[in-house]
Amino acid sequence: MLRIKRVPTIVSNYQKEEAEDGGARHGGGCGRNCLNKCCIPGSKLPLYAFKKVNKVVNGKDVLDCENKEPPVAFLDSLLLGEWEDRMQRGLFRYDVTACETKVIPGEYGFIAQLNEGRHLKKRPTEFRVDRVLQPFDGTKFNFTKVGQEEVLFQFEASEDDEVQFFPNAPIDVENSPSVVAINVSPIEYGHVLLIPRVLECLPQRIDRESFLLALYMAAEAGSPYFRLGYNSLGAFATINHLHFQAYDLAVPFPIEKAATGKTTTLNTGVKISEISKYPVRGLVFEGTGTMEDLADAVSESCICLQNNNIPYNVLISDSGRRIFLLPQCYAEKQALGEVSAELLDTQVNPAVWEISGHMVLKRRKDYEEASDENAWRLLAEVSLSEERFQEVKAIIFEAISCFDENGSTTGSPDKDQDVKPQSLEEIDAHHGMLPGNQECLVLH
C-alpha cells in the first residue's frame, strides 16, 4: 500500500460552518470558493471523461475496439496523486497515514485500525436516523458547501467514446457534474467521495444512473483493492447528500472471502447469492452480461429497501464486478436496548467498511484486544435475523423479478431456494416503525 510523508495536520477551512468562517479567503461569491451558485460561475476543475465499457464476459470487460493507453493513469496518477496534493496542503482533519493498522490473526483476517481522533473531528449527523428516505435540506451541511480545493476532478462519461482528460475544464452548471472530492475525515489512504450530479442536491438515496456511475468508477480504477461503499440513512450515513465513499487498501476484505450459497440467476445473466459463514447476512450480485444489467439489478434492490424503510450498506468490489448488499439493524437494536454496554462503549458505528471487515476502532484498548471473536461479536449485532433476512430477501426478489427497463419480467428465484415472497402488506403487518430513545428504527 502506498505511503506518504507526514505533513502538519490542520482543519480544513472549507468545511467549517459559515459562523466559524474567520479563516476563509476573500474574493468573489461568499469568499469560501465553494461549489454553490455564489462561487461556481466561471470556475474550472480537472475533468476525467471515461469510456463506457458495456460487456462483461467471464468477469472481464470486453472493449469494442483495441485498447489504448489512457491519457492519465486514473487511480495512481490522478486520484491518488491529487489526494496526496491535498494532504500536503493540509486540507484533512488529521493525518490518517499515522494511524496504526494491522490484520488480526485468525480465520477471517479482519483489519483493525486505531483512529482515536475521528469521532471527535468527524462532522456529526444532522438528521433523523429513523427514516431511510428524507428530503434534501439545504440548511444542513451538504457538498455544495465544500471548497473547490477539496474537489479532485469531475468524472463524466466521454462524449466520443474515448478516455479523455482535461486539466482545466469549465464546470457545466446546466448539466450538473459528478465530482470526486477528498473525505476530510478519512479512514484510509486515498479516501474519497464520489458525488453524483453534485449541483442537483440529491438526497442520500440510490438511483439507477448514480449507481451505474459508481460501477464505472470502480471499473476505471481497475484495481481489486479499490472499493466503493455506500451507507443509507439509518445505516450510519452522516450526510444527507447523495455520495459514495471509496479508498485503496491492498489487502482482501473478509467479506470478499466469505462463502456463498443459494444462487439465483436472472434472465439478464446477473447471479445473486447469499453470503454464508459470515456474521452479517447479505446478498452478492455478480454480472456476466452488461454493466447496465448489473447496475439495474442492484439499484432496483436498493430502491426496494429504501421504499420499505430498511437501512442498508453496499460494497462495490472486484473493479465493479461484484456487489455486496447488506441490510442491517444495529440502530434498531440500539433503540430496543438489545446491544450490550460493552459494545456500545466502543463507539463503533458499523457502516459499510466495518461490515466488510475493516474495523475502525476509537480506543487503544479495543485495538490492542482486537480479535476475530470480538469483530464477529460486533458484526453479529448488525445482521438481520435469519427469519427477517428471508422476509427482506423475498420482497427484494419480488421487486426485481418483475423489473427491467421495459417493465417486463427479467428473472425469478430458482426453485431450490424455497423462497416464498410475501406482499408488502404482510410484511408491514408485523414490522412497524416507532421512534426510539435515539431516534432509531424499531421493530415490534
Catalytic residues, which ones?
Answer: 243
CB 273 within 8 A of CB 259: no
Closest listed residue to residue 153, CA positions, set 207, 219, 249, 78 = 78
Q: 102 and 111 in contact (C-beta within 8 Å)?
A: yes
Is residue 272 classed exposed, middle or buried when 0-12, 13-18 and 19+ CB atoms within 10 A define those classes? buried
Q: Of 115, 107, 114, 113, which Cα lies nearest the Cα of 372?
A: 107
Element (H, E) at 11: none
Which helix (H) or strand (E) element contains residue 21? none
Between CA 388 and CA 394 the distance in angstroms is 10
The span from the CA of 110 to the CA of 258, in Å, is 12
Q: Using an 8 Å Cβ cutoff, are 405 and 212 in contact?
A: no
- Number of H helices and E strands in the chain, helices first, is 11, 17
Quote helix, strand, coil % in the chain, to nearest 5.
30, 20, 50
Strand order in the sheet with 111-114: 100-103, 111-114, 358-361
**Rg of the chain over CA atoms, in angstroms?**
21
Residues in the chain: 444
**Which of 395, 404, 68, 345 has the alpha carbon at shortest distance from 208?**
404
Q: SS3 for 155?
A: strand
Rounded to the nearest 10°, the torsion over CA 240, 203, 266, 392 is 50
The span from the CA of 145 to the CA of 198, in Å, is: 11
Cell triple for 107: 480465520
Crossing angle for the helix pair 386-400 and 291-307, to the nearest 10 degrees: 120
Question: Running DSSP on this structure, what letter comes out for residue 34?
Answer: B
Nearest to 154 by CA among 67, 246, 249, 35: 35
